[in-house]
Chain A
Amino acid sequence: MNHARLLPLIVLMLISCHSLPAITPNGKIPADIEAACAASFPRQAWRMVHTIKTDFPGGRKGVMLGVVSLVPGKNTVECALLSIEGLRLFEAHDDGTLTIRRALPPFDRPALADGMMQDIRLIFFRPEAPPLASGMMPSGEPGCRYSLADGIQDIVRKPSGEMVIHRYDGENRLIRRVTITRCHPAGTAGQEAIPCRILLEAFHPARYQLELDLVEARPTVDSP
């Protein structure tokens, strides 16, 4: 095989090979960085209502209400999507097995329910396994790296207090970036901080963007 034939193959390999940003145990790494990464996610059961603003390709925008009831200790989540007028468009329960209770068009595509539940878990549930590594990200911010069954998840703590999740697939492609601002909503004094403002950017396989803003939240003791 001559060099002319090899060149396209090399270019193809370079394009298809993605690499993760390096995470190094250098610099001013907080001693409790791994605990801080884990503590970024809710630990107790919550019921939350968010407005969800969606940006689709082509400039179309959509707004809905999202209801989520999660019990991290049991790894279970229920969710519902409502129109602004209160029409229940979608509802599902996931305790390891996804059960769709209601799905009106266009929310009746099975892939959509799977993707929605994966996004919810990415936002609200910490990875099950302990971090693969922790240290400084290339941005100079402390973070943790988790190995998942089908990829990698990085959690970065910003100096502003924001948490940024980078989710990579098995080919190390960045498929999701989630920026989370936590707060203590009214009426929840003494409780843990929860995600109040969330920006989810999806890059693969479909491109879309979701902006979630908290409407109300209540800690719960009963399970979904």
Chain B
Amino acid sequence: MGPTALVVLGLVTTGWSSSWDSIRAAARDIQSIQAAFTQEKHLQILSRPLQSHGRLIFAAPDRLRWEYQAPLPSVLLMDEGRIQRFVKTGDSWTEDASAALPAMSFVMQEIGRWMNGRFDENPDFEARLEPGGKIVLTPRQAALATVIQKIVLQLAETPGVIDSVNVYEDDHNFTQLHFKEVAVNQPIDPALFKHHS
């Protein structure tokens, strides 16, 4: 690949992620996103990360389905501000009260902002956009920094799409999410956000 091709490739991959305005503009074209994900939870007290996988479905402006297929089948739903989680116990699905924890509400609202390209609109975080479509969110308040040290998001080449999310709780404990098989603006059954199906 010659220098000219590299420059062109660079423009294609970084064009939509070069500024907050271009990121928001790209997000406005997103009506839905579906993706598979793999997650690794790194804990200081575990010798190797805890792995899980599932699917994430988003429909603009604020509906989200965050589904884990393993190790514990569960689905977290956000629809018109209401957050519910259902967990598979045996052959049946049970609503889980822990979805109402304050920390989960905080996380879900933040993901809702990201999906709308509003990475820099949470007053609790300072947002920094780095070359190559890398976004670093750092807590403004010391109290929040004891919970989350920083969040690093890597934007994908496809406009409006996130490639990975790393949530650092501290130097030794962090979560890595990688998205794959991403489908943009495909029709989505609204029932997927109402209850488990």
Contact = CB atoms under 8 A, between A and B. Distances in A.
Interface of A: 47, 49, 51, 53-54, 56, 60-65, 67, 69, 78-80, 82-89, 91, 102, 104-106, 215-216, 218, 220, 222, 224
A224 B45 contact: yes
B152 to A, nearest CB: 15
Nearest to A107: B101
Given A61-B94, A83-B101, A104-B147, A88 B173 contact: yes
A105 B102 contact: yes
A86 B52 contact: yes
Contact of A80 (B43, B97, B101, B103): B43
A83 B52 contact: no
B197 interface: no
B84 to A, nearest CB: 12
Residue from B96, B104, B173 having most chain A Cβ neighbours under 10 A:
B96
A54 B39 CA distance: 24
Interface residues of B, number: 32
B66 interface: yes
A63 B45 contact: no
Nearest to B42: A86
Contact of B41 (A53, A63, A82, A224): A82
Contact of B104 (A51, A54, A87, A224): A87
A2 B66 CA distance: 70
Closest 9 CB pairs of A and B: A62-B98, A60-B97, A86-B41, A63-B87, A69-B45, A86-B175, A78-B45, A62-B97, A215-B71
Contacts of A91: 45
Interface of B: 39, 41, 43, 45-48, 50, 52, 66, 68, 71-72, 74, 76, 85, 87, 89, 94-98, 101-104, 107, 147, 169, 173, 175
B95 A67 contact: no
A82 B104 CA distance: 11
A51 B46 contact: no
A211 B87 CA distance: 14
Specify which of A47, A67, A87, A105 lies most central, judged by the most chain B CB atoms within 10 Å of its CB. Answer: A87
Contacts of A69: 45-46
B98 A49 contact: no
Contact of B98 (A64, A86, A105): A64
Given A88-B169, A215-B71, A53 B89 contact: yes
Nearest to A211: B89
B92 to A, nearest CB: 12
A109 B39 CA distance: 30
A105 B98 CA distance: 11
A67 B98 contact: no
A102 B46 CA distance: 16
A37 B101 CA distance: 39
Given A47-B46, A63-B74, A220-B47, A83 B41 contact: no
Contacts of B43: 67, 80, 88
Contacts of B47: 47, 218, 220, 222
Nearest to B88: A63
Contacts of A60: 97
Contacts of B173: 88
Contacts of A62: 96-98
Nearest to A64: B98
Given A61-B96, A84-B72, A102-B147, 9 more contacts: A63-B96, A80-B43, A82-B50, A84-B85, A85-B107, A86-B52, A88-B43, A91-B45, A215-B71
A83 B104 CA distance: 8
Contacts of B98: 54, 62-64, 83
